[in-house]
Amino acid sequence: MSFLTVDRLNQVYTDVYTNEHTVAIDDVSFTIPAGEFVSLIGPSGCGKTTVLNIVAGFVEATGGAVQLEGVPVAGPGPDRGVVFQDFALFPWKTVLANVAFGLKMNGVGKAERQATAQEMIDLVGLSGFERKFPHELSGGMRQRAAVARVLATEPSIMLMDEPFASVDAQTRRVLQQEVLRIWDLRRTTVLFVTHDVDEAVFMSDRVIVLSTRPSQVQADIRIPIERPRSWTDMHTNEDFVSIRRELMGMLGVEGAEVAP
Amino acid sequence: MSVQTTAKTSRPDPPRRTGTSAAARWRALRRRPLVTTLFPFAVVIAVWAVVAELGVFPSAFFVGPATVADSLLTSVQRGILPAYIVDSLTRLAVGTGVGLLVGVALGFLIGLNRHARRFSWPLLLFFQAIGDIAWLPIVIIWFGFSLTSVTVVIVYTVVFPLIISIVAGLDAIPTNLLRAASSLGASRWRMFWEVYVPGALPGLSSGVRTGLGYGWRALIAAEIIIGTSGVGFMMFDARRQGDVSHVFVGMAVLGVLWYMTDALVLAPLEKETVERWGLVEGIGR
Amino acid sequence: MTMTHKIRTRARVESAAWFLSPFVVLLAAWLVAIPALDVSPRTFPSAPAVWSALVDQTAAGELIPHVLSSLGRVFLGAGIAVAVGVPAGLLMGMSAALSTFFSPLLRFSVALAGIAWIPLATLWLGYGNGAVVFVVFNAVFFAIVYNSMLGVRQTGTSLLRAARSLGASRWQMFWEVYLPGALPNIVTGLRVGLGFAWRGLIAAEIIATSTGLGYTLFLARQYYETDVIILMMILIGVLWLVMDRLLLAPFERRTIQRWSGERKARA
Ligand SMILES: Nc1ncnc2c1ncn2[C@@H]1O[C@H](COP(=O)(O)OP(=O)(O)O)[C@@H](O)[C@H]1O
Ligand SMILES: [Mg+2]
């Protein structure tokens, strides 16, 4: 019972000025069953963002199809919640208004949407910051707000594009654990794009590896590490270490491990 | 695009030292915004007074602050200056109001509609280049030496910077913000009010500043050339009679009026919106 | 290589065609509307009338001298303003005390610059070239000084520290750090100042001289020569666009956009 089906996706970009064609993704297929946390990794520029944008409905694929619960995807919609790398919070709205935005767009009454938004804010640990504007928050807090905004509309799948790439290393680990904690409560299906191997292995049930451009699915690896997971014991976990090594090999960064 | 929108240098104040010496107190005083703003003007007026007192320039060309203050007082007492100020401000307000209505509507239309933009952008650049004051002669032929002529010129002046800034503001809205809104289920109408309108506000506010900056210049020119009443008329009338002190009065009044428009209207509006949202830093402060 | 080149040339031709097409539409509407609505030439001229005004004026040798005297005034006034204003602004910016002191004064002066000085300029310098050049100078000068100063103040602290720790002398700091650091702001200042100056020029020529585009424009009004008026307006627009495209835009492209990698909507 596959929940999200990505079938023979192909994307060719055409430069409007030079008319040059770039085959970003050649032929990418995979499926995600409901409730699974799946990461998409691959070298920079291989088309990860493109795949995610097509699933989100921001970009129309030049070939192939995406189906969510058997229905072809056409255009963006609240059934697929997107967490952006640059947060994409509305600067002119408070944290509370940002989180309540999706509910407002879908006609939920004021009292109800504020209550739900408050619940989500508490869930991501932003209580007390409801009336702040995004520019008054740290990077990590902004990403928490962005996650809360997506959770509020109860999407059937969450799409995250390198959501922690612009926060510092320390905060990143905290956020990774936080997102897993929240995910564990609801088990929403997640498609998570990253170029960070450690992050992918730590977070996911499955890791899909894309090859260099024009990309195809190079590998699809199951992560059997028990949940709940925590960074404290991860580096001594045998599965973690061996899968990490395997993935590093595929991405061509073995050298990094030999280096002193 | 205008000078006033350039963000200020924000350097954190050094930690306050608790000194009781005169120097320390002076330093603390100098950090008060009102003092840093007014003190330089006090110095300039003092220097001006000394130069006038020494008689460096003949008094037909240059008079001191005392003489200017005197002329200011008499023309206020006679009621001429207040009446002229009201005339000028009314013209500016009417012209700016109409200009805002037209400019904002066209700005959003051109900014959001691809076809409208493609067709009108070249024309826009060209008509903006002609410049308001060049329209004065033909507008006078059409409407005579009247208030309508002045208003038309001011509207023309305000509209173009507004449109161009609003379009630039709309273009500057990050793609991901639009994507986020549509992915959260925003309809076209909702997108407009919740994303495009607030997103265009920084552009709008800089457009209003630029527009007003050009607008009152056009007003002064029109008042000089059409010449029936208003601050510009007063200055040029005084110049024709060789009354230099009233020319100075006019310039001081213009400066103060601009300052008040900025401090009482534009700055508070911006403080509540674009500054509060962190979209721009302290406009014009 | 040549293939891409060809496509690029075609794209450029296409975009030029798009740029010109609204003007073609406008011209066509003008050609049709004037006879169709039977508009009096005292209200609005027909397109052929404006064309023959252009031909007549050029043939009579009147047009070129007026254009040249207007342009001469702009270049002289703006040139002096840049030559004096940029160094003054940079030096002020290099001192925290000076820039705090001059900041409110300059903001006030920028707000006042240009047209408001016409009465005073004609009083001090009499009617004629001097007063017009002064108005142009004044419009550009304050905007340039203020923005040069701001530019220096906005140069990042870490950049200054880096330069100093690499051993730059004060003189080197000026040339290598402050000046290039402030260039984007200087260009902004020049743009704002020239915008005020161009309007100031037209107004001052209407009021204070007997040559130049503004003068010709206003003189034509007395005789209801709308063809000359419209011709002058078109010339004023074209000259400004040419100045903007040939002088300001390339300069801006080479500094602001090149260094920041940002492309702004044309304003
Ligand atoms: N809008 C676009 N127009 C043209 N080329 C694009 C566009 N978006 C992405 N590309 C190209 O497609 C390839 C894949 O990009 P992307 O999906 O962003 O990769 P990733 O997210 O894996 O780094 C890159 O070579 C990029 O230059
Ligand atoms: Mg990417």
- From chain C residues 95-114, the ones with a CB under 8 A of any chain B CB are 100-105, 107-108, 110-112, 114
- Would you state the pLDDT for residue C3? 60
Answer whether residue C260 shows pLDDT above 90: no
Name which residue sits closest to atom 6 of ligand 1, judged by CA.
A13
Q: Spell out which residues of chain B touch residue A120, defining contact as CB-CB under 8 Å.
A: none
CA of A46 to the centre of ligand 1 (A): 7
CA distance A153 to A170: 29
**Per-residue pLDDT tens for C46-84?**
999 999 999 999 998 889 999 999 999 999 999 999 999
Instruction: Give a yes or no: residue B280 inside a domain.
Output: no
Please, which residues have CB within 8 angstroms of residue C93's CB and are 6 or more apart in sequence? C99, C148, C149, C150, C151, C152, C153, C178, C182
CATH of the domain at B263: 1.10.3720.10
Q: Supply the pLDDT for residue A116.
A: 95
For residue C11, list chain A residues with Cβ-Cβ distance below 8 A: 16-17, 19
Nearest-by-Cβ selection for A92 from B183, B186, B198: B198
**DSSP assignment of A1-48:** -EEEEEEEEEEEEE-TTT--EEEEEEEEEEEEETT-EEEEE-STTSSH
**Residue C47 carries which side chain, given as an amino acid letter?**
A
Residue to substitute from B173, B184, B280, interface A, most A β-carbons within 10 A: B184
Closest chain C residue by Cα to residue B37:
C104
Domain around B232: 65-275
What's the gap in Å between A12 CA and the centre of ligand 2? 16
ipTM of the prediction:
0.86
Q: Which amino acid is at C86?
A: V
**C58 in any annotated domain:** yes
pLDDT, tens digit (0-9, with 9 covering 90-100), for C12-52: 788 888 888 899 999 999 999 999 998 888 899 999 999 99
The alpha carbon of residue C265 is apart from the nearest alpha carbon of chain B, in Å, by 5
B residues 79-138 lying closer than 8 A (beta carbon) to A: none
Evaluate whether residue C20 is within a structural domain: no
- Structurally, how many domains does chain C consist of? 1
Q: Calculate the CA A231 to chain-centre distance.
A: 19
Ligand 1 atom 21: the closest Cα is on which residue?
A: A49
Ligand 1 centroid to A36 CA: how many Å? 26
Give me the pLDDT at residue C174, please: 84
Interface residue of C7, C9, C14 to substitute, partner A, most A CBs within 10 Å: C7
Domain of C85, in residue numbers:
49-262
CB contact under 8 A, C116 and B130: no
Query: Residue C243: inside a domain, yes or no?
Result: yes
Of the two residues C56 and A253, the one the predictor is more confident about is: C56
Please state, in angstroms and rounded to a whole number, the distance separating the CA atoms of residues C22 and B122: 7
Model confidence pLDDT, tens digit, residues C86-134: 999 999 998 888 888 998 899 888 888 889 999 999 999 989 899 999 9
User: Does residue B27 lie in a domain region?
Assistant: no
- Show pLDDT as tens, one digit a residue, over chain B (285 residues): 333 433 333 444 444 444 457 777 766 666 667 777 788 899 999 999 999 888 888 888 888 999 999 999 999 999 999 999 999 999 999 999 999 999 999 999 999 999 999 889 889 989 988 888 899 999 999 998 888 899 999 999 999 999 999 999 999 999 999 999 999 999 999 999 999 999 999 899 989 988 998 898 899 999 998 888 899 999 999 999 989 999 999 999 998 888 888 888 888 888 888 888 888 754 333
Q: How confident is the model at residue C158 (pLDDT cuts 50, 70, 90)?
A: confident
**What residues in B contact A84, CB-CB < 8 Å?**
176, 179-180
pLDDT in tens, A201-252: 999 999 999 999 889 999 999 999 999 999 998 989 999 999 999 999 998 7
Claim: this prediction has a pTM higher than 0.90: no
Counting ligands in written order, the one closest to the CA of A213 is 1
On whether residue B168 sits in a domain, the answer given is yes
At C173, the pLDDT band (50, 70, 90 cuts) reads confident
Closest-CA distance, C35 to chain B, in angstroms, reads: 19
B140 C-alpha to ligand 1 centroid (Å): 57
The residue length of chain C stands at 267
Residue-level pLDDT at C108: 85
Q: Is residue C74 part of a domain?
A: yes
- CATH classification at residue C92: 1.10.3720.10
Whole-number pLDDT of residue C157: 75
A176 Cβ inside 6 Å of ligand 1 = no
Residue B168's CB is within 10 A of a number of other CB atoms, namely: 21
CA of A22 to the centre of ligand 1 (A): 9
Rg value, chain A, Cα: 19
Q: Residue B5's pLDDT is what?
A: 38
A149 touches B at CB < 8 Å: yes
CB B219 within 8 A of CB C118: no
CB contact under 8 A, B218 and C199: yes
Task: List the single residue in A80, A88, A134 with the smallest CB-CB distance to B174.
Answer: A88
Q: Is residue B40 part of a domain?
A: no
A47 lines ligand 1 (CB under 6 A): yes
Under 8 Å CB pairs connecting chains B and C tally to: 190
Q: Which residues contact A125 (CB under 8 A, 6 or more apart)?
A: A144, A178
Asked whether residue C19 is assigned to any structural domain, the reply reads no
The predicted structure's pLDDT at residue B146: 86
C-beta separation of A6 from A51 below 8 A: yes
Protein residue with its CA nearest to atom 18 in ligand 1: A49
DSSP assignment of C17-46: HHHHHHHHHHHHHHHHHHHHHT--TTT---
C174-194 pLDDT tens trace? 888 888 888 888 988 898 889
Residue C42 lies in a domain: no
Q: Quick check: is B179 in a domain?
A: yes
- The closest residue, in CA terms, to atom 4 on ligand 1 is A13
Q: Comparing C-alpha atoms, which of A27, A51, A37, A52 is closest to residue A3?
A: A37
Test the C interface: residue of B125, B217, B236, B281 with most C CBs within 10 Å: B217
pLDDT for the residue numbered B191: 94
Separation of alpha carbons B182 and B177, rounded Å: 9
Dihedral, B187, B190, B191, B197 alpha carbons, nearest 10? 160
- Is the CB of residue A24 below 6 angstroms from any atom belonging to ligand 1? yes
* Chains touching B by CB (3 or more pairs below 8 Å): A, C
Side chain identity at C150, as an amino acid letter? Answer: L
Query: Is C144 contained in some domain?
Result: yes
Answer whether A214's CB lies under 8 Å from A24's CB: yes
B184: in domain: yes
What's chain B look like in SS3?
Answer: CCHHHCCCCCCCCCCCCCCCCHHHHHHHHHCCHHHHHHHHHHHHHHHHHHHHHHCCCCCCCCCCHHHHHHHHHHHHHCCHHHHHHHHHHHHHHHHHHHHHHHHHHHHHHHHHCHHHHHHHHHHHHHHHHHCHHHHHHHHHHHHCCCHHHHHHHHHHHHHHHHHHHHHHHHHCCCHHHHHHHHHCCCCHHHHHHHHHHHHHHHHHHHHHHHHHHHHHHHHHHHHHHHCCCCHHHHHHHHHHCCCHHHHHHHHHHHHHHHHHHHHHHHHHHHHHHHHCCCCCCCCCC
Q: How far apart are CA A167 and CA A145, in angstroms?
A: 14
E strands in A93-201: 157-161, 189-193
Is the minimum distance from the CB of A45 to ligand 1 under 6 angstroms? yes
Q: How many domains does chain B have?
A: 1
User: Tens digit of pLDDT for each residue in A160-180?
Assistant: 999 998 888 888 999 999 999
Q: A207 has which bridge partners?
A: A39, A221
DSSP A58: S
What does the pLDDT read at residue B60? 82
Q: CA nearest A21 in C: which residue?
A: C4
Chain B residues whose CB is inside 8 A of the C25 CB are 119
A48 C-alpha to center of ligand 2: Å? 6
Closest in B183, B190, B278 to A76, CB measured: B183
